[in-house]
Amino acid sequence: MAEQPAMLELQKTYGKTIHTWACDKHPDLPLGPPQLMMAYTNDAQLEPQAINERDQRTGISTEAKGKLRQGYLPKYEKDDMADQWEKSGAGIVFEAKGVEV
């Protein structure tokens, strides 16, 4: 399955990765500043109704995907310093700034 190598790398990023292409705003060209993107990492972070609606809309099963991933992703302990945004209520924003080169 194509997702497995990527998931093995991303699993310990706590759902965070830097996107360098704002494809929703600039689908044809890689424009815009890097963006820190975060995924849900806990079932309690999202209402079950929202998950069900997304599953129906996209034709996937979150439950089946979770069971599949349990079969190949190793278990690990979350670092206590991870997800400071949950404790502090503050996030990170990357802003573009022009500079002389």
Residue-wise pLDDT tens digits, 5-62: 988 888 888 878 888 877 778 888 877 778 888 888 777 888 999 999 999 999 999 9
pTM recorded for the entire structure: 0.66
Confidence of residue 100 (pLDDT cuts 50, 70, 90): very high
Say how many domains are in the chain.
2
In sequence order, what are the residues at sequence separation of 6 or more whose Cβ sits closer than 8 angstroms to the Cβ of residue 8?
Answer: 72, 73
Q: Is residue 15 domain-resident?
A: yes
DSSP secondary structure code for residue 79 in this structure: P
In sequence order, what are the residues at sequence separation of 6 or more whose Cβ sits closer than 8 angstroms to the Cβ of residue 97?
Answer: none
Q: Is residue 51 domain-resident?
A: yes
* Structural domain for 61, as ranges: 40-74
DSSP secondary structure code for residue 13 in this structure: G
The three-class DSSP label of residue 95 is: coil
Whether residues 13 and 29 share a domain: the answer is: yes
pLDDT tens, position by position, 63-87:
999 999 999 999 888 888 888 888 8
Euclidean distance between CA atoms 66 and 78, whole angstroms: 18
Q: Is residue 31 domain-resident?
A: yes
Whether residues 34 and 59 share a domain: the answer is: no
Whether residues 21 and 45 share a domain: the answer is: no
Q: Is residue 93 domain-resident?
A: no
